[in-house]
Structure 1
Amino acid sequence: MISRVKYREGKPRLFPLAAAAAVGLLLAFALALYPLPPPARPWRQTPPTVPSPKPFAMPAPAVRTLANGLTILVFERRGLPVLTLRLVVKTGAEADPPDLPGTAQIVAGLLNEGTSHRTAFQIAQAVDGAGGSVDNSADWDESHLALSVLADHADMAFDLAADMVMHPAFAPAEVERARRQMTSSLELLKDDPGYVADTVTAELEFRGTPYGHPPDGTAASAGRVTPSDLHQFHNRYYRPSNAVLAVVGDISTEEAFRRAEGYFGNWRDPTSAEPLPLTATSHAPAREILVVDKSDAVQTEIRVATAGIARASSDYDALMIANQVLGGPAANRLFKALRTERGLTYGASSDLVCYRRFGAWESKTSTRTRETMKTLETILDVMGRLRQQPITGTELEYAKNYLIGHLALEFESSDGIAAQALDLVLDGLPLDYWNRFPERIRGLTAEQVSGALERYLDPGRATIVLVGDARGFSKDLKKLGTVGVIPLPELDLGSPNLKASGSP
């Protein structure tokens, strides 16, 4: 039998003492090799000082207008062997035929789906073979096609871009596929409360103008549009005198102009399009409230919109500052009031929407159904206090720093440079606009921002759109004004009154 020997009380335990001594020696040796860092000093308890943003300078393009009226902008950018061609037509969804919303989007979307000389497969094969990518779509005020390839495929890029813009086939099979995709997407989006809230708000804010319809179209218009409709739209608006081409990348200025002349020079204007009527927005004299009743919703999408400005407005800079304070990343009073102080939502923001002719200013969030009224009242209160009380010096500084510091990010890529330059041309702004932007922003005062707020931010005349279960808040909502309610199944985004035919 093996006996277990126990240490007696009062006797030294030689093995534990030796082990402790060895461990101590090892620790001393380790500390000698790797000393502990010194105690944190007070100045290390605060974040390091962030230096001022480096001065930003957008490169100046070389500009030339071809005999057919097509304007060419060229930016030499030799850092990477990449070439980007971005062509913009100065017409978009605002020119959709009244009974065919979504036409501009379908036309632009089919530019790379076959031409008179190439099939859709051949276009895709050519782009892939050049290590490239193509992007084409339409928005308000513009339709675009952007093609990026490796720079040694420049000849192919100019040839292909010109072919897609000038000779789209609109083959019946491709049109039918686009119609089915459009119908399917819209069916899904109709059940998306965020999409419904955004679209209804825009239609109410811009009714009576060319922007007062859904740019993505409707299921009804998707079912009616034909290849002939698309050809008619293309022939009317896709004209060299109504377009601008930006060439950015690893190419010399003279070579870019030469290739543009060679591939786009024979593009000719068809019969001129009639100009769009510049109708004014018809803002209601009092607050307008519309509820889209989604009875199965557990939360409410909330939009509060007021009148805005066109992109070229002289108030743009001041309202950019104001928007940062209201709901932008820099300060965001909405987020502080709704999330930080009251815990009513996970996020809140505001957007300054500026088109070529008109604009709107929209605040947006979502919340639990039972918190809908408290959230809406908080938004209106934040808007009212921002209009009545000057913004603080800290808010002004945060907003300025964000706008100036964020600017360079818009010009990181060749396509970003092309897009920003083309936007300036489309909006009638000078090409050195962004180079002078930091100076203009730094020069703004709180008083100038407050003046712009007083002119545009009026919660008493706001358009309010709620998408959610109306049973949870419609009764209390009446104290804010007259309330219209449309059940979601009866909503028709293509109808002037937003109600489907036969609805009460």
Structure 2
Amino acid sequence: MQRKILSLMILILGGLCAFAQQTPEAAKPLPSKIERLNRVPVNNEILKVKLPHPKEVQLPNGLTILVLEQHKLPTIDCSLWIKSGALSDPKEMPGLASFTADLLREGTGKRTSVQIATELDELGATFRAGAVFGNDYTSIDSSGLSSSADKLMELISDIVLNPSFPTDELARYVRQQKAGLIQLRSNPGFLARERFAQAVYGDFPAAIQSTTADSLQKATPEALKKFHDANYTPNNAILGFAGDITVAQATELAKKYFGAWKPRPSSAMKPSPIAPPGPARVYLVDRPSSVQSNILAGGLSLRRSDPEFIPLFVVNRVLGGNSTARLFLNLREEKGYTYGAYSRVSANLFPGTFAANTEARNAVTDGALHELMYEFKRIRDERVPQGELEDAKRSIVSSFALQVERPAFVLGSWMQTKYYGLPQDYWDIYSDQIAKVDADTVQRTAKKYVDLDHLQLVVVGDAKQVREAVAKYGTLEVYDADGKPVEPKTETPSVGNK
């Protein structure tokens, strides 16, 4: 036995010595000589992705119902969109739609907030409601087990149709919101979004990005109830179901719990048209002692139903849609100016925005602005190389395909179709429409929506540190953190002409 062990040790030691005597070149072949057999094959074709279609039902009271059957898991998702949101706020009371949505679950005619929370917990269900500033609808979403669908829908209908807006819960909410307003004013990202929205939208309600202390002071149960009664109506809503539920079951639940919901003429506010884009401007929001600048630049885009939305979405992916896009690769990977740089396109029933954003240290704010403008000009002036364009389009469709397994995502996609009036085959041909976008279309779309002559550039930072760098890029306006102008405009050549 000892001889066998000794022989084995000699063999091991001999092997180790032989390995140690190999040259580095022999031990590690050059990367170009290595043949990797375990790589996933790359498919250069753009995926074909289609969504399952929902069934649509209309109740006598005008409520539209969408039902998407997916029986893989014993769960359901329910979504209710009210076609009135922050854009329906009275001018003298910004935030009313948000107050109303936030307070829905704080009590009804027969349940307290504690009872609602307890029942949701016992059902293993979720509930959230919100009316986002700058948006045109209120969303109410819930999920739970399909075996509890009846109990869940009874609870949701009570929350949505019979809110009591209790005085004590509203008072607590107002205190929290007032404290939140103070925190918002210390957030450079919010200050940039607020100034940008005001620059782009002017007097249009989407310019408003938060409530005010005065508005919160006016919040009463009567004010919330008045907004609720005027806007939460079945003929002003879309109700969607997705998951382990049949069309018959969903329709029966909708009739049982929402069938008595009485329709009323919609009193949603009709905002005035958006003014044409103004000339290029640069806005500096002074944030003393800030060690970095928050940069946001862009302008008006388009409505969600506009046929150019898909080409613009491709432009966005090439420019700054993810961490492999131009802005990120330039400002972070190559220059090291920032942790991230991105762009985004938004679209609603009204024109949204197309904008890019980043954050940079004071010392490199000038460089970051220069590279941002360089990338804006490059995507306008140069055709996107074919390989880069194909990568961007594959990325869009692949990301979309990964979401299709989620019933809530699919339901949300069809809710968009109904709400924005998109064609019924929109998602059937979505991947084909992405594939059709060529380099000429990208450049033509970029020239239209990356509009340097009307570019609104916002920088939030320490004016003493970055004012000189920022002033190079156009007519400068300086504001404090409360949104008040602190000095007259400084005329400089337009951003688009630099």
Q: TM-score higher than 0.5 here? A: yes
Secondary structure of 1:121's counterpart equals helix
Query: Kindly tell me: are residues 264 and 191 of structure 1, through their superposed partners in 2, closer, same or farther at Cα, counting changes over 3 Å?
Result: same
Letter in 2 for 1:414: P
Aligned to 1:413: 406
- The answer to whether the 8 Å contact 1:302/1:464 transfers is yes
Q: Which has the larger radius of gyration?
A: 1
Mapping 1:185-196, distance limit 5 Å: 185-196=180-191
Q: CA deviation at 1:202?
A: 1.7
Question: Partner residue of 1:42?
Answer: 34
* Aligned match for 1:249, one of 213, 230, 243: 243
Query: Residues 371 and 45 of structure 1: is their aligned pair in 2 closer, same or farther, counting only changes over 3 Å?
Result: farther
Question: d(CA) in 2 for partners of 1:151 and 1:27?
Answer: 64
Is 1:199 the equivalent of 2:191? no
- Alpha-carbon shift at residue 234 of structure 1 (Å): 0.9
Q: Structure 1 residues 388 and 353, CA, compared in 2 at 3 Å: closer, same or farther?
A: same
Q: In the alignment, is the contact (CA less than 8 A) between 2:170 and 2:220 conserved in 1?
A: yes
Q: Secondary structure at the match of 2:207?
A: coil
* TM superposition shift of 1:55: 3.5
Alpha-carbon distance, 1:499 to partner = 5.3
| Cα 1:413–1:69 shift into 2, 3 Å | same
Q: Secondary structure at the match of 1:329?
A: coil
Query: Is 2:242 the counterpart of 1:260?
Result: no
CA distance in 2, matches of 1:446, 1:118: 58
The whole-number CA distance in structure 1 between the counterparts of 2:396 and 2:149 is 35
Aligned AA for 1:326?
L
Q: Which moved further from structure 2: 299-308 or 337-346?
A: 337-346
1:289 to 279, 282, 289: 282
CA contact (8 A) 2:283 2:458 kept: yes
Partner secondary structure for residue 349 of structure 1:
strand
- Structure 1 residue 83: Cα displacement: 1.8
How many angstroms does 1:159 deviate by? 1.1
Cα distance in 1 for residues equivalent to 2:310 and 2:42: 25
Aligned-partner Cα distance in 2 for 1:319–1:425 = 21
Structure 1: stretches of 5+ with no match in the other structure: 1-17, 31-36, 493-497
**Residues in 1 aligned to 2:476 and 2:28: alpha-carbon distance in whole angstroms:** 66
- For structure 1, which segment, 265-274 or 163-172, has the greater mean C-alpha deviation from structure 2 after superposition? 265-274
CA change 1:78–1:195 in 2 (3 A) is same
Q: CA deviation at 1:319?
A: 0.5
Residue 9 of structure 2 corresponds to: 23
- Distance in 1 of aligned mates of 2:14 and 2:428: 60
- SS of residue in 1 equivalent to 2:104: coil
Deviation at 1:477, TM superposition (A): 2.8
- Which residue of structure 1 lines up, in the alignment, with residue 349 of structure 2? 356
Q: SS of 1:296's equivalent?
A: coil
Return 121-130 or 216-225, whichever deviates more: 216-225
Give the 3 Å change call, closer, same or farther, for CA 486–116 of structure 1 in structure 2.
same
2:491 paired residue number: none
- Secondary structure at the counterpart of residue 131 of structure 2: strand
Indicate which of 365, 370, 376 corresponds to 2:363: 370
TM-score when normalising by structure 2:
0.89
Q: After superposing the two structures, state which structure 1 stretch, 432-441 or 469-478, moved more.
A: 469-478
**What residue in structure 2 maps to residue 8 of structure 1?**
none
Q: Name the amino acid aligned to 2:34.
A: P
Mapped to 1, the partners of 2:110 and 2:406 lie a distance apart of 31
Confirm whether residue 136 of structure 1 aligns to residue 129 of structure 2: yes
Question: What residue number does 1:157 align with?
Answer: 152
Residues in 2 aligned to 1:201 and 1:409: alpha-carbon distance in whole angstroms:
33
Corresponding residue SS for 2:429: helix
How many angstroms does 1:46 deviate by? 9.3
Q: How far apart in 2 are the matches of 1:117 and 1:199?
A: 40
What corresponds to 2:203 in structure 1? 208
- In the TM superposition, what is the alpha-carbon distance from 1:322 to its structure 2 partner? 0.4
Q: 1:240 aligns with which of 234, 237, 240?
A: 234
Matched, 1:71 2:64: yes
1:178 aligns with 2:173: yes
The Cα shift of 1:81 comes to 1.0
2:222 maps to which of 228, 239, 244 = 228
Q: 1:85 touches 1:247 (CA, 8 Å); kept in 2? A: yes
1:293–1:486: 8 Å Cα contact kept in structure 2? yes
* Equivalent position amino acid for 1:49 in 2: P
Amino acid paired to 2:372: I
User: 1-side partners of 2:465 and 2:323: how far apart?
Assistant: 33
Separation (CA, whole Å) in 2 of partners of 1:343 and 1:383? 19
Measure how far apart 1:405 and its partner are. 0.5
Report if the CA contact (8 A) 1:70-1:242 is conserved. yes
SS at match of 1:146: strand
Q: Distance in 1 between matches of 2:272 and 2:334?
A: 44
Sort the Cα spacing of 1:381 and 1:151 in 2 relative to 1 into closer, same or farther, 3 A.
same
Within a 5 Å distance, the mapping from 1:336-485 to structure 2 comes to 336-485=329-478
Give yes or no for contact 2:130–2:138 (8 Å, CA) kept in 1: yes
Q: 2:459–2:470: 8 Å Cα contact kept in structure 1?
A: no
Question: Partner amino acid for 2:458?
Answer: V
User: What do the CA deviations read for 1:181-217 (whole angstroms, capped 9, x no partner)?
Assistant: 2111221121011121122212221222121111x41
Determine the C-alpha separation between the residues in 2 that align with 1:27 and 1:66: 83
DSSP 3-state at the match of 1:99: coil
The question of whether the paired residues in 1 share the 8 Å contact of 2:86 and 2:94 is answered with yes
**2:211 corresponding residue in structure 1:** 217
Distance 1:19 1:411, change over 3 A: closer
Paired position in structure 2 for 1:34: none
Amino acid of the residue matched to residue 43 of structure 1?
Answer: E
Instruction: Report the Cα offset of residue 274 of structure 1.
Output: 5.2
Partner AA of 1:261 in structure 2: K
Q: Tell me how far apart the structure 1 counterparts of residues 268 and 410 of structure 2 sit (CA, whole Å).
A: 31
Q: Structure 1 residues 90 and 271, CA, compared in 2 at 3 Å: closer, same or farther?
A: closer
Partner of 1:100: 93
| % identical aligned pairs | 31
- For 1:393 and 1:169, the matched residues in 2 are separated by 58
Name the SS of the counterpart of 1:78 in structure 2. Answer: coil
Match of 1:12 in 2: none
Q: Do the aligned partners of 1:287 and 1:462 also contact (CA within 8 Å) in 2?
A: yes
Counterpart Cα distance in 2 of 1:474 and 1:380: 17
Which of 77, 98, 105 in structure 2 is aligned with 1:112? 105
**Using a 3 Å threshold, how does the CA distance of structure 1 residues 329 and 272 change in structure 2: closer, same or farther?**
closer
State how far apart, in whole Å, the 1-side matches of 2:8 and 2:228 are. Answer: 87
Amino acid at match of 1:152: S
* Equivalent residues of 1:324, 1:330 under 8 A apart: no
Aligned counterparts of 1:351 and 1:272: Cα–Cα separation in 2: 32
2: distance between equivalents of 1:303 and 1:38?
A: 48
- Look up the match of 1:324: 317
C-alpha distance in 2 between matches for 1:371 and 1:315:
35
Offset at residue 341 of structure 1 (A): 2.3
Contact 2:77 2:144 in 1 (8 A): yes
Equivalent residue letter for 1:343: G
